[in-house]
């Protein structure tokens, strides 16, 4: 499944608008597009890295908690 092309385009455009990445289009057929994090985007990456590390380290516990919750009656 994954993300739709429309949603990906909207998200990338919003990140570009917010100054988190730059977009560069190349005159090829089909058009080739390259995205790169800006300094602001890289600073956000540094800020979010600890949260990502936490999520990876605790994913099994979170999934078990969800499973237990869904199996509760009522």
pLDDT at residue number 39: 97
Q: How far apart are CA 73 and CA 28, in angstroms?
A: 58
Percent of the chain with pLDDT over 90: 93
**Tens-digit pLDDT profile for the chain (74 aa)?**
899 999 999 999 999 999 999 999 999 999 999 999 999 999 999 999 999 999 999 999 999 999 999 999 87
Q: Which fold has domain 5-71?
A: Arc Repressor Mutant, subunit A (1.10.10)
pLDDT at residue number 1: 80
Q: Nearest-CA neighbor of 18 among 38, 4, 32, 35?
A: 38
């Amino acid at each position: 499944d994954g993300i739709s092309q429309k949603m990906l385009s909207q998200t990338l455009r919003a990140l570009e608008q917010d100054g988190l990445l730059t977009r560069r289009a190349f005159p090829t057929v089909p058009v080739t597009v390259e995205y790169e994090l800006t300094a602001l985007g890289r600073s956000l990456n540094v800020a979010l890295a600890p949260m990502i590390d936490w999520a990876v380290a605790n994913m099994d516990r979170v999934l078990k908690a969800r499973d237990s919750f869904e199996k509760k009656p009522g």
